[in-house]
Amino acid sequence: MEAMEHETSRFVVRDVGVNVRHAGAGERVLFLHGAADVLEWLPFFDLLAPQCELLAPDHPGFGDSDDPPWIHHVADLAMFYLDFLEDMNWPGVHLVGHALGGWLAAEIAIRNATRLRSLTLIAPEGIRLKGVPRGDVFIWSPEERATNLFWDPAHARRMIERPMLEGQSDRILRNRYAATKFLWQPRGFSPDLEKWLHRVKLPVSILWGDSDRVVPGAYARRWLERIPQARLEMIERCGHLPHVERPQECARAVLSLVAAGGASRP
């Protein structure tokens, strides 16, 4: 599939510049990335954009967005995005988040979901199950990380062998610093999030690779138990990056929620 034409814009909220890739038209879908930011326009986005308006921001501190000193943790990021949605005057947003972005999406939804229409959580971070160890991306070598992210070894090889573009090493280092700030302590979860997930009263789709070595499938079932209107889809032959490894299945799940989202936004 040939990559769809997309634009990159800079939005400023509370004096923080946020880099946003976007394409398409229709129902608005906001994609919140994981710990590595959106390094490139993904085939997953190409599957969504023909049927909706897709926006993929770099979180503050990641990619080409500003890094304000007053954003310290994921709860701060959630409040920032609530300001972002309010300043943009965006009602009826379908929120999609992967890993760190899924945790962030849940933190947004438990605080104020009035501007949200649906929620898709792709292997989210954010909660902890005692006795169910998770993969520790901070101690893996680049080769181990690539191998453990995917079910299909071909995807891991492509990640390992992909040539580094000019300036990309600086961007990756910046992303790792930001990811460490948000995920290091406590490691990848909030002690308070799980007890408030009952407040998420939106249609929710939870997507999880059945071979996820980073956040095991037992976590998927806990999210399903805690969110009232959630539906779980375990994706076969898939690791921690379903939207990369199985983009068609992920796009179909997102678009199903979008289609069921009710009347068009104002």
Task: Quote the CA–CA distance of 69 and 17 in Å, as a whole number.
Answer: 13
Cα 256 from chain centre: 18
Of 84, 50, 64, 75, residue with least CA distance to 21 = 64
Query: Which residues, 6 or more positions from 40, have their beta carbon under 8 angstroms from its beta carbon?
Result: none
* Preceding amide of 186 cis, omega within 30: yes
- Residue 46 backbone dihedrals phi, psi, to 5 degrees: -60, -30
R_g of the chain computed on alpha carbons: 17
Of 84, 86, 108, 87, residue with least CA distance to 96 = 108
Half-sphere exposure of 12 (CA within 13 A, CB side): 1
Task: Quote the CA–CA distance of 68 and 76 in Å, as a whole number.
Answer: 11
Instruction: Look up residue 51 and give its DSSP letter.
Output: G
pLDDT of residue 1: 54
User: Beta-carbon neighbour count of residue 9 at 10 Å?
Assistant: 11
Give me the tens of pLDDT residue by residue for the chain, a chain 266 residues long.
Answer: 556 789 999 999 999 999 999 999 999 999 999 998 888 899 999 999 999 999 999 999 999 999 999 999 999 999 999 999 999 999 899 999 999 999 999 999 999 999 999 999 999 999 999 999 999 988 999 899 999 999 999 999 999 998 877 778 889 899 999 999 999 989 999 999 999 999 999 999 999 999 999 999 999 999 999 999 999 999 999 999 999 999 999 999 999 999 987 433 33
Please state whether beta strands 204-209 and 116-122 pair in parallel, antiparallel, or not at all (unpaired): parallel
The three-state secondary structure class of 186 is: coil
Task: Quote the CA–CA distance of 187 and 50 in Å, as a whole number.
Answer: 37
Give me the domains of the chain, ranges plus CATH numbers.
7-259 (3.40.50.1820)
